[in-house]
Structure 1
């Protein structure tokens, strides 16, 4: 595991997670965000159907070493991984290709784990997005194939729990109540979650087990108190977050979770639920400002992992340089719906990237 991942993996509580990892650059980012909650859905964090469809073959075009980003750049860059990170990478790919039309940047939403296992670690993609840190076993798998992941934290997210718009009984849930719903030995009816909730079947829609969002939710919410509990398989799993939104929208007892960008784009379709770790805490609504300030309990960092060898190709290096610089701008919040990197994180990322020039 990378040094950054080791630091993140030791965390216990959500708040400790936020502040010790720099998960969303809490204080540094608060000043650069332009709050976009309540927007009319101008996010580009749309369905995964917008994917450019990453290829299975890793391009060897382009010479080694870094570049000044001139028009002479050419080649192919293959991105895979997290559906949560997908909107960021897809946006970066489109913007980069406008500046460098001879570079083909493909983006495929495979899930964080699915991307590492099936594409990145086997050497079939150059960059993998992840909504949680790379795991030790994934690093070992990559290294066994001669692939060395390099970690860059690029944004922050307010993981959002949502219910049907006609659900008038849920405004806030504790981590224990969400765990009751989503764990393997959980409840089947809303009346079992809390006294006063109606006798309405719970219909769950969420990410597949290959998703980093699935992994994060299991570790930080279902197992929030350190209990050895598993995520239920009794839900409709998918790597396409727009299908989670659709499932919730079509079922009055529906519930699901996904990255904030997808909620931002679908605020009229589903209802966001405020959350709190315990009964003693205040309820916190999902939002970029709250995530940046570290006051939202389900805030989390988002990552991209280029292959160290791929960074030796000038088109990949230039794309990562472009990506890391743009990740610190307001476009991440205004156009996509995530927390942008703070200036300190941008500087740290670019300095780290220079090591591979």
Structure 2
């Protein structure tokens, strides 16, 4: 996955996070008149605070921009800890989590009952941590000036497979008599699962849709066809809003206010990371990274286009993590 464009807009924020994690950067003098940086800590103490190790995660491409942004900043605080984050989708991430390949798993939906059962069978205990809110965004080509406000019922009619060739004029006779071109996240994606739950009601997605776990491929598809429609996380729309149109749902456009207030319904949703309890107890680097993630997820969520949780909720999530140590 390419480096997240919004990171270039958060350089000041990133520097502040890195300095805060390292204990500050004021210059002091020791008894011999030599300079020390790092607040009141000596260089020896700072070195003792540095960790070594590795941390592995995988999962949702929707959650990835937040976590990748935090990884970039964490490298400044703990340069000897290697953090790897894959983006195989929520379902694919849980498969690796169940197989014991990862310490944490990012998800754009709640864990399913069958995934819980497999984790129990594998002897893996886990904890769910919420890190932000997202507004699943329906997008169209910018030249599409007819489907800019759709009802939930119209979305169902568009996206549910019914054996017909879908045309825009099927939704409204005044719209173009042109075939609709569909782009959707893949079936391993939590975004697909969420859309299936709240829009499709468990019915089959249109068979003609192009599916991909790579949200950037979906962006390119919709941006390249006037008759295209697709959906993915709000941050991907923000990054590409110069080449995409956004669809209001029942008159409400997704933005920070409507997502946080849940006015953008039913497509506002929480974002999660699931941590392996044993990893938090036994892998000091994994625990430290997750603690850093929760401390900074709110700032990073806002920086990359999502919506942060209330401060009190981040304290609650941190308490859940600290109870595992």
TM-score (norm 1): 0.76
Cα pair 1:157 1:259 within 8 Å, conserved:
yes
Cα pair 1:181 1:187 within 8 Å, conserved:
no
Match of 1:148 in 2: 125
Structure 1: gaps (5+ residues): 1-40, 46-67, 277-282
SS at match of 1:328: helix
Tell which has more relative contact order, 1 or 2 (C-alpha 8 A, sep 6+). Answer: 1
Larger Rg: 2
1:26-54 deviation digits (Å, cap 9, x = unpaired): xxxxxxxxxxxxxxx96349xxxxxxxxx
Higher helix share: 2
Q: Distance in 2 between matches of 1:173 and 1:43?
A: 29
- The reply on whether 1:202 has 2:180 as its aligned counterpart is yes
Structure 2: gaps (5+ residues): 9-45
Root mean square deviation, CA, Å: 1.9
Q: What are the residue-to-residue correspondences of 1:245-284 with 2, within 5 Å?
A: 245-276=219-250, 283-284=251-252
Q: Distance in 2 between matches of 1:291 and 1:316?
A: 30
Of 81, 86, 92, which aligns to 1:114? 92
Match of 2:272 in 1: 303
Offset, 1:343: 1.0
Match of 2:160 in 1: 183
- The reply on whether 1:327 has 2:297 as its aligned counterpart is yes
- Would you identify which runs of 4 or more consecutive aligned residues in structure 1 move more than 2 Å? 41-45, 68-72, 230-234
1:92-120 deviation digits (Å, cap 9, x = unpaired): 11111211011000011110011112x11
Offset, 1:179: 1.2
- The reply on whether 1:222 has 2:200 as its aligned counterpart is yes
Cα pair 1:139 1:148 within 8 Å, conserved:
no
Offset, 1:187: 5.2
SS at match of 1:150: strand
**Relative to structure 1, is the Cα distance of residues 192 and 70 closer, same or farther in structure 2, using a 3 angstrom cutoff?**
farther
Cα pair 1:84 1:131 within 8 Å, conserved:
yes
Of 227, 234, 240, which aligns to 2:214? 240
**Higher mean C-alpha deviation, range 171-180 or range 208-217:** 171-180
Match of 1:93 in 2: 71
Offset, 1:245: 0.7
Q: Distance in 2 between matches of 1:150 and 1:232?
A: 35
Of 273, 284, 291, which aligns to 1:314? 284
Match of 2:42 in 1: none
SS at match of 2:277: coil
Match of 2:43 in 1: none
Cα pair 1:180 1:187 within 8 Å, conserved:
no
1:243-288 deviation digits (Å, cap 9, x = unpaired): 1110001111000001000000001111000002xxxxxx000111
Offset, 1:314: 0.7
- The reply on whether 1:356 has 2:318 as its aligned counterpart is no
Q: Distance in 1 between matches of 2:60 and 2:140?
A: 23
Q: Distance in 2 between matches of 1:198 and 1:69?
A: 66
Cα pair 2:134 2:269 within 8 Å, conserved:
yes
TM-score (norm 2): 0.83
- The reply on whether 1:343 has 2:311 as its aligned counterpart is yes
**Relative to structure 1, is the Cα distance of residues 159 and 100 closer, same or farther in structure 2, using a 3 angstrom cutoff?**
same
Offset, 1:347: 1.0
**Relative to structure 1, is the Cα distance of residues 218 and 347 closer, same or farther in structure 2, using a 3 angstrom cutoff?**
same
Cα pair 2:165 2:179 within 8 Å, conserved:
no
Q: Distance in 2 between matches of 1:131 and 1:234?
A: 24
Number of residue equivalences: 282
**Relative to structure 1, is the Cα distance of residues 42 and 97 closer, same or farther in structure 2, using a 3 angstrom cutoff?**
closer
